Structure 1
Amino acid sequence: MLSLVLAASLAAAPAPRAATSSGTVVHIPRLDALQGVTAFLDRAGQYAALLRPVVWFAELHPFLSLDPSQPDSLKSLGIDPTGPLTVSLRSNGRISCTRLTDPKLFQEKAAAVLISGSGKTEAKPTILNGVTRVLIPRESGGHAGYALKGQEACAFTTPSGGFVDDGQGAAMQKETSRLVGSPPKPDARLAQLPGAIYVLMPGRGMVVGMDGSATELRLEGTATQLPLPPFQTTGTSPYGTMKPEGMLFSRARVAPAGVSQAVASVRALIQQACPACPPAEVSSVSRAVAERLTGNVLVAVDSVKSRPSLRTPEGRFFAMRQAVAAEVMDAAAMKTALAPVAKFPGARALEDGYALDVKGGTLFVRLKGKQLVVGNDEAVVQALQTALPQGGAKLPHAVDFTVDPKRLASGLNQVSLMDVVSDQQLAGLFTVGLELGPLLARSERISGWLDSTSGGHRFSTLWTLPAAP
């Protein structure tokens, strides 16, 4: 029975005609099934030019202009609009494989483009083992060409190799010939994910399916190398009844084997914010705390407030006004585990914990019943303590999260050009704010979930736009 189920799964699985040694592979099972994704990107592209369909349509083929939203335009190139397309990005160039309705027409259109960019008068094909092959140098450097067999064609370009033939053109010709020479193998991972487009990152063990509508973009994927701890698959969260608020709200049920890893990440942040705190004692406290946690965690980021500057480590640490709550097994034992904090530099005893005055602000460590709350903003810590419910509830996933895109856009807008000039680490945030900030400001919400699997993690994200433009 198991073999029959596996066989049925493989039979239904999409089969990317993907090149070996690819850094990224994009697979579209049917070019005529992209209406939902393009509808979302059409709207999103009004505020983020990078997402406009015309921008990513240009990346679908190395030298032909494809527009999947216009089936007749594909037919005019000899390409089947109901067929698949696979783009493989390699260090030595790009390969795009398509199914053809008219191989002769495809060759004519391809030859016209290849000749125009080469300075040659013809793109003469050769035939080897039943595969029609074309390889031609480009005036801009590198090579372009294709391999064709039956109704399958794989086209390629290589980057500029200067005036010396670096052999990459021949290598790509050999690879495309191999791709069209045999049927592609089904990928069972894709059959388990919904999507009109799939993105595969072989080196990271990640596969993501994408689909959408005019108001929603849905991503669902699996990964084997995410830098995350394992999570519990079942159980009740003490934060299950809480309403998501703030810029980021996330609940998680960390498996016992992953609690130390999760606490270690918090310990590293505290050590960064308090370099004067003795590392051995900080590590000792974090180990004692980890031993007394159930694994139920809540992360709440209220907003971003750059004070006074993002150009310093302490400025970046305190810019995100946040707090973390974690359920403890025994409140009395946790209080004992936290006692050494009183001797840290800048520590002040509070009625329910400690305040740690450091450069740039104050860290708070508080214990309310069986809830440990750690944060870098007094108002956010207090608000989270007040909001903690008396009872919990079951959640459908091990991790869930909700992002307020408007608050996120506001936070990204606080990274200035001068910040980037002073600190290159902020360049990525500045670019994201510049490209996506206007779209985020007009988005409704971003939400998602994550679960552990036997081989890694499975995750999902939903980006929602308002019903009315």
Structure 2
Amino acid sequence: MLSLVLAASLAAAPAPRAATASGTVVHIPRLDALQGVTAFLNRAGQHAALLRPIVWHAELHPFLSLDPSQPDNLAGLGIDPSGPLTVSLRSNGRISCTRLKDPKLFQEKAAGMLVSGSGKTEVKPTTAGGVTTVSIPRESGGHAGYALKGQEACAFATTGGGFVDDGQGAVMLKEASRLVGKAPKPDARLGQLPGSVYVLMPERGMVVGMEGSATELRLEGTATQLPLPPFQTTGTSPYGTMKPEGMLFSRARVAPAGVSQAVGSVRALIQQACPACPPAEVSSVSRAVSERLTGNVLVVVDGVKPRPNLRTPEGRFFASRQAVAAEVTDAAAMKAALAPVAKFPGARALADGYALDVKGGTLFVRLKGKQLVVGNDEAVVQSLQTALPQEGAKLPHAVDFTVDPKRLASGLNQVSLMDVVSSQELAGLFTVGLELGPLLANSTSISGWLDSTGGAHRFSTLWTLPAVP
């Protein structure tokens, strides 16, 4: 029975014609099944030019202009609109494999584009072992060409070499010939994920399926190398009944083996905010705390302060107003584990914990019953403590999260060009704010979940736009 199930799953799995040594592979099982994703990107592209379909259409083929939303365009190039397309991005160039409806027409269109980009007067294909190949130097440097066998074609273009033949054209031609030489094997990972488009990142062990509509884009995938701790299977969370609020709201059930890793991340942030705090004592408290946690965690980021000072480490630490709640196994034991904090520089005792005055702001460590709350903003910490429920509830996934896209857009807008000049670390956030900020501001919600499965993580994200543009 197991073999039958496995055989059925493999039969249903997409089979990317992917090149070896690829950094990223994009696989589209059917070019004519992209209407949903294209509809979302058309809507999103009204606010984020980077997402407009016309932008990524240019990346689908090394030298032909493909428009999957127009079957006649594909057929006019000799490409089968109902066939697959696989794009492999390698360090030495790009290979795109398509199924052909009219191989002769494809060769004619390819010849015209290759000639126009090479300065040559004609293209001379060669055929050996049933594979027809073309490789021609480009005026802009490097080589371009294709390999064709039957109804399958893999076209390529190299990225380097300048005007001197560095041999990469021959390497890419050999790989393209290999790809059309035999049928690709089904990828069972893709068969387990919904999607009309798949993105594979082999070096990161990541596979993502993408599906959409005019108002929603869903990404669902698996990864083996995410920098995350392992999580428990579904179960009861003390935060299960809480209503998501703030810029980010996330609940997690960290597995026992991952609690120390999760606490270690918080310890590193606290140590950065309080460089005067003795590292050995901070580590000792962190270990004692991790030993007294169940693994149930809640993270709340209310938002970003107006005009924060992002040019200093402490300014960046206190820029986002946030708090973390963690369930403890024994309140009395946790209180004892936190006692050394009283001797840290800038520490003040509170009725339910400690306040730690550091450069740039104040850290709060408070204990309410069996809930430890740590945060960098008094109002957020207090609000979270007040909202903690008396009883928990079961959650369908080990981790869930919601993002308020409008608050996120507002937060990204706080990163200025001068911030980027003084800190390259902020360049990515500035770019995201510039490119996606208007789209986020016009989005309804972003939500998702994550589970741990067999040493890997499976995750899903849903991005929603308003029903009416």
Q: TM-score normalised by the shorter chain: which range applies?
A: over 0.9
Corresponding position of 1:129:
129
Matched, 1:261 2:261: yes
Identity value in percent: 89
Residue 270 of structure 1, CA deviation: 0.2
Corresponding position of 1:329:
329
- Whether the 8 Å CA contact 1:307–1:315 is kept in 2: the answer is no
Corresponding position of 1:193:
193
Local SS of the residue matching 1:315: helix
1-side partners of 2:162 and 2:289: how far apart?
A: 59
Corresponding position of 1:272:
272
What is the correspondence of 1:9-408 to structure 2 with a 5 Å cutoff? 9-305=9-305, 308-408=308-408
2-side partners of 1:306 and 1:78: how far apart?
A: 55
- Whether the 8 Å CA contact 2:235–2:396 is kept in 1: the answer is no
Deviations 1:66-115 (A, max 9, x none): 00000011000000000000000000000000000100000000000000
- Whether the 8 Å CA contact 1:349–1:355 is kept in 2: the answer is yes
Residue 405 of structure 1, CA deviation: 0.2
Equivalent AA in structure 2 for residue 150 of structure 1: G
1-side partners of 2:235 and 2:414: how far apart?
A: 39
- Whether the 8 Å CA contact 1:142–1:158 is kept in 2: the answer is yes
Corresponding position of 2:424:
424
- Whether the 8 Å CA contact 1:306–1:316 is kept in 2: the answer is no
1-side partners of 2:245 and 2:162: how far apart?
A: 55
1-side partners of 2:249 and 2:23: how far apart?
A: 33
Equivalent AA in structure 1 for residue 369 of structure 2: G
Local SS of the residue matching 1:153: strand
Corresponding position of 2:437:
437
2-side partners of 1:393 and 1:76: how far apart?
A: 57
- Whether the 8 Å CA contact 1:398–1:450 is kept in 2: the answer is yes
2-side partners of 1:413 and 1:54: how far apart?
A: 27
2-side partners of 1:220 and 1:401: how far apart?
A: 14
Residue 368 of structure 1, CA deviation: 0.3
Q: Which runs of 4+ in 1 moved over 4 A?
A: none
Residue 455 of structure 1, CA deviation: 2.9
Local SS of the residue matching 1:199: strand
Residue 162 of structure 1, CA deviation: 1.9
Local SS of the residue matching 2:318: helix
Residue 287 of structure 1, CA deviation: 0.3
- Whether the 8 Å CA contact 1:306–1:315 is kept in 2: the answer is no
- Whether the 8 Å CA contact 1:307–1:318 is kept in 2: the answer is no
Deviations 1:275-298 (A, max 9, x none): 000000000000000000000000
Equivalent AA in structure 2 for residue 93 of structure 1: G
Deviations 1:388-427 (A, max 9, x none): 0000000000000000000000000000001111111110
Equivalent AA in structure 2 for residue 290 of structure 1: S
Equivalent AA in structure 2 for residue 460 of structure 1: S
Q: Given the two structures, how large is their TM-score scaled by the length of structure 1?
A: 0.99
Local SS of the residue matching 1:374: strand
1-side partners of 2:265 and 2:162: how far apart?
A: 46
- Whether the 8 Å CA contact 2:140–2:163 is kept in 1: the answer is no
2-side partners of 1:252 and 1:108: how far apart?
A: 56
2-side partners of 1:150 and 1:360: how far apart?
A: 67
Name stretches of at least 5 consecutive residues in structure 2 with no aligned partner.
none
Deviations 1:183-211 (A, max 9, x none): 00100000000000000000000000000
Matched, 1:6 2:6: yes
RMSD in angstroms over aligned alpha carbons? 0.6
2-side partners of 1:330 and 1:161: how far apart?
A: 65
Local SS of the residue matching 2:122: coil
2-side partners of 1:455 and 1:4: how far apart?
A: 25
Residue 348 of structure 1, CA deviation: 0.1
Residue 164 of structure 1, CA deviation: 1.5
Equivalent AA in structure 2 for residue 261 of structure 1: Q
Name stretches of at least 5 consecutive residues in structure 1 with no aligned partner.
none
1-side partners of 2:104 and 2:361: how far apart?
A: 70
Local SS of the residue matching 1:407: helix
Corresponding position of 2:458:
458
1-side partners of 2:369 and 2:204: how far apart?
A: 41
Corresponding position of 1:410:
410
1-side partners of 2:312 and 2:260: how far apart?
A: 29
Equivalent AA in structure 1 for residue 17 of structure 2: R
2-side partners of 1:315 and 1:441: how far apart?
A: 25
- Whether the 8 Å CA contact 1:31–1:84 is kept in 2: the answer is yes
Equivalent AA in structure 2 for residue 304 of structure 1: V
Local SS of the residue matching 1:134: strand
* Residues matched between the structures, number: 469
Residue 235 of structure 1, CA deviation: 2.0
2-side partners of 1:423 and 1:267: how far apart?
A: 23
1-side partners of 2:275 and 2:88: how far apart?
A: 46
Residue 266 of structure 1, CA deviation: 0.3
- Whether the 8 Å CA contact 2:23–2:202 is kept in 1: the answer is yes
- Whether the 8 Å CA contact 2:307–2:414 is kept in 1: the answer is no
Residue 308 of structure 1, CA deviation: 4.3
Local SS of the residue matching 2:406: helix
Equivalent AA in structure 2 for residue 444 of structure 1: T
